[in-house]
Amino acid sequence: MTEPVAQQLSRRERQIMDAIYTLGRATVAEVRERLPEPPSYSAVRALLRILEEKGHLRHESEDNRYVFIPTVPAESARETALRHVLRTFFAGSAAGAMAALLELEDLELSDEEYDRLAAAIEQARREGR
């Protein structure tokens, strides 16, 4: 299956995709339960249909209800979103994005997390990335 064309998602569409990625697969009611200030059942159903038309979701019929499933694995979606953020806010600079993250005042990393980041940076350096 091909990946959906990269399209901007509305805030509500992103919330729906977040819910489905968290759950793995979900019904309209399950998605609605996870939304802040949820719209009506029919509004959520309409948004799911739009996301399906955009190629982000597919559905299966299960016990007389639709179960929605992402068409793109979470890891691929995460990578696409990160690349978009890098291009949009950091002129494509991964170093700029990482520095901005580390400058966040409320960011609390454990020693193990700092070690993991340092190891990932060292590995990327060795691989010429």
What is the predicted pLDDT for the residue at 1? 45
Dist. CA 71–CA 38, nearest whole Å? 24
**Rounded average pLDDT over 95-120:** 91
* pTM reported for the whole predicted model: 0.69
**Rounded average pLDDT over 95-103:** 91
Q: In this structure, are residues 23 and 30 in contact, taking their beta carbons and an 8 Å threshold? A: yes
Q: What is the pLDDT of residues 44-89, one digit of tens each?
A: 999 999 999 999 999 999 999 999 999 988 888 888 888 888 999 9
Nearest to 74 by CA among 8, 3, 10: 3
Question: All domains of the chain, ordered by start, with CATH?
Answer: 11-70 (1.10.10.10), 74-126 (no CATH)
Q: In this structure, are residues 40 and 47 in contact, taking their beta carbons and an 8 Å threshold? A: no
Q: In this structure, are residues 101 and 107 in contact, taking their beta carbons and an 8 Å threshold? A: yes
